[in-house]
Structure formats: structure tokens, C-alpha cells
Amino acid sequence: MMVSRQLRARGIRDERVLAAMLEIPREAFVPEDQRDAAYSDEPLGIGYGQTISQPYMTALMAQSLDLRGVERVLEVGAGCGYHAAVLGALAARVIAIELIPELAAMARENLEKTGRLGNIVVIAGDGSLGYPQEAPYDAISVAAAAASIPRALVEQLRDSGRMAIPVGPHADQELRVVWKRGGEIDWHVAAHCRFVPLREGAPRVD
């Protein structure tokens, strides 16, 4: 239902993305009091003032990275770990960084209990500066809205790599799909969206 009505009908065509969204139990990632709404067409609260994206947005972002299964991916803003699980099904390795330590712990726990932690590592820390220790990345997925595209993330993206990132103020954001080529970036707007803000310049947690 979610896959046919919310994803396929709106233009998600990458069969690997559709299969991953079918396979990963979204209800295992949302808080217990939200389980009944796990597959509804909206973002849901995950505590600490944060949200898990609407399924369509997760699918669109994943599709826009054009993953084949061999990539190393950075996710900024792991939240409850659901989007990381989707990326983990599509790529070789995922480094998911989350600023709020309690959410980082929750993401790790959810990934563990769903058997998805194998190729995913969750790090508690500020991802607005990326995670240079594991760079370069073939793809970067940012789950919180930035004021502009952070330079550190572009630097950590491999040449010909892609990044999906929401940019703009709270009520009026665009999902940009960025492509790096010859050290320069090019981007297009894939959708309008509303994400929680990317906290920038926060003290590092780890």
C-alpha cells in the first residue's frame, strides 16, 4: 500500500529503492505510540523535537543518490535510524551521524533489533562538518535543512558523487540534488520540503 500509493504513484521508479522500502519494517523505528501511523503519508515525531520524514521524502532522497550497492554513504541526521536502514539496503556501507546522543542510541538500537546494523555505523556528533575520518563518500544524504550547502560536505564528497540536502528557512525549503564534478558542484531542485533545521556549529559531542 505505502509503496504503490505513496511511492510508485508519485514517480519513485528505482526498483531497488521500492524493494528496500517494502522490506524495512518502518514500524520498528518509530516510537511505540506512533506505530499505528508508521505507514501514513506524513512525518512523525520521534522525540526530542525531531521527526522521521514522510516515506515519500525518504524514497525520493534515496532514489536521487542513484545507488548501485557498492557505495560508501554518509547520512547526516540519523534520527531513529530508518533512513539509514534504507540506505544500508542500497549501498555497501553507511556512516550515520546524529547530534542528539539519545537519538543516536535509539538509531543504533533500532538497527540492531531489525538486523540492519551490519553495514551501518551510527556516530553521535555534529554532522554539519561531515565526518572526515571516513571521507570521501560516494553519496551524502542530509536529513535536516541547512542555510546553504555546507562546504565541508562538498569537500568530503567524492568526485562524481551525489548529495541530497534540504536547503532554506523552515517554511520554504527545497530539496537539492547536488552533483560534484571536477571539484565543482551543480544542483537541481527535486522537490519542496519541510525538514527540521540542521544545527550548525554546535560543539562536537564525540
Catalytic residue positions, numbered: 53
Q: Helix (H, G, I), strand (E, B), or coil: what is residue 6?
A: helix
Q: Does 7 bind ligand SAH (CB under 6 A)?
A: no
Residues 185-204 that bind ligand SAH (CB under 6 A): 196, 198-199, 202
Q: How does DSSP classify residue 4?
A: I
DSSP for residue 180: E
Work out whether 166 is an interface residue with ligand SAH (CB under 6 A). no
Q: With contact defined as beta carbons under 8 Å apart, do 141 and 71 qualify?
A: no
Nearest residue (CB) to ligand SAH, 49 versus 115: 49
Q: Which residue has 518502518 as its cell numbers?
A: 26
163 in contact with ligand SAH (CB under 6 A): no
CB of 156 to ligand SAH, least distance (A): 14
Residue closer to ligand SAH (CB basis): 29 or 138: 29
- Asked, as a colleague might, if the bond just before 169 is cis with ω within 30 of 0, I would say no
Q: Please list the residues that pair with 189 across neighbouring strands.
A: 176
Interacting stretch for ligand SAH, rule CB under 6 A, among 18-26, 33-41, 63-71, 77-85? 77-85
- Residue among 199, 75, 198, 77 nearest 137 (CA): 75
* 176 Cβ contact list (under 8 Å, min separation 6): 149, 163, 164, 165, 166, 167, 187, 188, 189, 190
Q: Does 100 bind ligand SAH (CB under 6 A)?
A: yes
Instruction: Say how far residue 95 (Cα) sits from the centre of its chain.
Output: 11
The span of 6-14, 80-88, 151-159, 179-187 binding ligand SAH (CB under 6 A) equals 80-88
User: In the set 21, 24, 73, 76, which binds ligand SAH (CB under 6 A)?
Assistant: 76
Residue 55 interacting with ligand SAH (CB under 6 A): no
Among 57, 60, 95, 99, the residue binding ligand SAH under the rule CB under 6 A is 99
CA atoms within 13 A on the CB side of 201: 1
Residue 14 beta carbon to ligand SAH: minimum distance, rounded to whole angstroms:
18
Coil/strand/helix, residue 38: coil
Contact residues for ligand SAH, defined by CB under 6 A: 46, 50-53, 76-80, 82-83, 97-100, 103, 126-128, 143-144, 196, 198-199, 202
